Amino acid sequence: MAKIKIGVLVSGRGSNLQAIIDAAKKGEIAADIAVVVSNVPGAFALERAKKAKIPAVVVDSKAYDKKEAYEAEIIRVLQSHKVDLVCLAGYMKLITPRIMAEFHNRIMNIHPALLPAFPGLHVQKKALEYGVKVSGCTVHFVDEGTDTGPIIIQAAVPVLEADTEESLSARILKEEHKIYPKAIDLFAKGKLKVEGRRIKVKR
Ligand code: GRF
């Protein structure tokens, strides 16, 4: 089967990137990573890309005075690698309408909570503080809101009484590493049908 090309945007440690690299290597997803782009120089995710011999590009968001110029460069890099799908994996910048227009319904994100509960940052801590008994993670398409786009896959985990932010995060992260490659593979095989907010998975 023909493979799609993905571009992964990162800002940090890149464990989700690693899960995608491993899944691609094992032939578990119909996709190859064409490029990894980090807005943070020195992000560990860049090392992971280099180790896997994947082009790793830094577009330092702090080096640009104008957001427009930064974005134009991100778009240029993604397009120069002929990317079909953009995967945000711990990418700590907001995606603006300009990038969204270039890659309409072709940008995915992974979020460490069961959306629409707990969008935004530090969500494992917020879930613990709120006292939920179940949390999890969500892969969704990116729209103009923060973590509001149509949901592709979710996985749930229990919240235990002894949990700390770290232990809950680790339990959720394990699931993230399973569902992100799965969502990419469904997209790659043309199995995702977006109907408004609802995404149907073709069998
Ligand atoms: C993950 O928890 C992801 O859900 C969130 O940011 C974290 C990134 O972790 N968006 P990593 O860089 O993939 O290890």
pLDDT band of 1, cuts 50, 70, 90: confident
In CATH, what number is assigned to the domain containing residue 108?
A: 3.40.50.170
Q: What is the pLDDT of residues 73-92, one digit of tens each?
A: 999 999 999 999 999 999 99
Q: How far is the CA of 16 from the centre of ligand 1 (A)?
A: 6
- Ligand 1 pocket, mutate which of 173, 174, 179 (most atoms under 8 A from CB): 173
Q: What per-residue confidence (pLDDT) applies to 155? A: 99
Q: What is the DSSP letter of 123?
A: H
What domain range includes position 97?
4-201
Averaged pLDDT for residues 148-172: 98
Active site annotation includes 111? yes
Q: What is the pLDDT of residues 33-77, one digit of tens each?
A: 999 999 999 999 999 999 999 999 999 999 999 999 999 999 999
Q: In a 10 Å sphere around its CB, with 0-12 CB exposed, 13-18 middle and 19+ buried, how is residue 145 labelled?
A: exposed
Averaged pLDDT for residues 175-198: 98
Q: What per-residue confidence (pLDDT) applies to 85? A: 98
Ligand 1, residue 18: give the atom nearest the CA.
Answer: 13
How many domains does the chain divide into?
1
Between the alpha carbon of residue 53 and those of residues 25, 34, 120, the distances in Å are 11, 10, 32
